[in-house]
Amino acid sequence: MINCYIIDDEITSIKILEGYIKRTPMLHLNGYETNSISASQKMSLMETQPDLVFLDVEMPGCNGMDMAEQFAKNCKIIFITAYSHYGADAFDKDAVDFLLKPFSYERFMRSIRKYKAMESNCKESNQEGFGGLFMKAGKKGILEKVDLENLVCIEAARHFCTLFFLNGEKRTIYRSLAQAEEQLPSNFKRIQRSFVVNMDKIRRVEGNTIYLEGLVKGPIVCGQEYREETRLYLNKRLL
């Protein structure tokens, strides 16, 4: 799920973006603000920081280009403006994209796909020389390396997660699914609120139903909000 935030002094523009975000299952709107100063304050207090900010370039008393520097370390920026001459400056700020108002849903989705590609490349880059993951064994003070090659999926329960391996083994870790997901390589994707799947272990896909290797879990129905991302991932690997 990609958490989004909108900063724009035009409520009409906000409502259009809000509609586009709600229409896209992989996106979630954390909120919006018409005042740039209030936006900075609100974002600093958010429990869940946005991954992606849609930022207007020209607002009363504020230049979005300057404001973007405040967010650069924590999130990605897509600039939105009615003025085309800001395009070059936008990419100097390492923005994901530059949306010229008015823009269609199709153009909006091009920006989202661009963001997804950048994040995927970044994750793969960070995992170069990946040394693996460890989990606690039964005895205190003992850690075991996780066999990621044979890890098929992870299922979340209330206060723990269960790891399912190709050989039928199950292991329990006392971490949230979100925490586990952050540590995993890029071939592990969430396909449902309670499931992360090793995409290399998918045996068959029928519509929105996914069958995994080894029969360690029965068929899993891909959740509505994860279907577009899953479809894009699989389409890249079609012969």
Query: What residues contact residue 101 under an 8 Å CB cut-off, 6+ apart?
Result: 13, 80, 81, 82
pLDDT in tens, 118-155: 877 665 555 544 457 888 766 677 888 888 999 999 99
Q: Give the pLDDT score at 139.
A: 65
Reading phi first (left if > 0) and then psi (alpha if -120 to 50, else beta), residue 215 is in: left
The average pLDDT across 86-108 equals: 78
Q: Give the pLDDT score at 88.
A: 55
The average pLDDT across 3-31 equals: 93
Is the predicted pLDDT of residue 183 greater than 50, yes or no? yes
Strand (E) or helix (H) holding 212: strand 209-212
pLDDT in tens, 188-222: 988 998 999 999 999 999 999 999 998 777 899 99
* pTM for the predicted model, two decimal places: 0.54
Q: Give the pLDDT score at 144.
A: 86
What's the rounded Cα separation, in Å, for the pair 172 and 23?
36
What's the rounded Cα separation, in Å, for the pair 162 and 89?
47
Q: What are phi and psi of 123, to 5 degrees?
A: -65, -40
Full set of structural domains in the chain with CATH = 2-126 (3.40.50.2300), 134-235 (2.40.50.1020)
* Residue type present at position 15: K
What's the rounded Cα separation, in Å, for the pair 189 and 122?
15
Residues 226, 97, 115, CA angle at the centre, nearest 5°?
25
Per the prediction, the chain carries an average pLDDT of 83
Is the predicted pLDDT of residue 63 greater than 80, yes or no? no
Query: What residues contact residue 124 under an 8 Å CB cut-off, 6+ apart?
Result: 186
**Contact at 8 Å (CB) between 51 and 3?**
yes
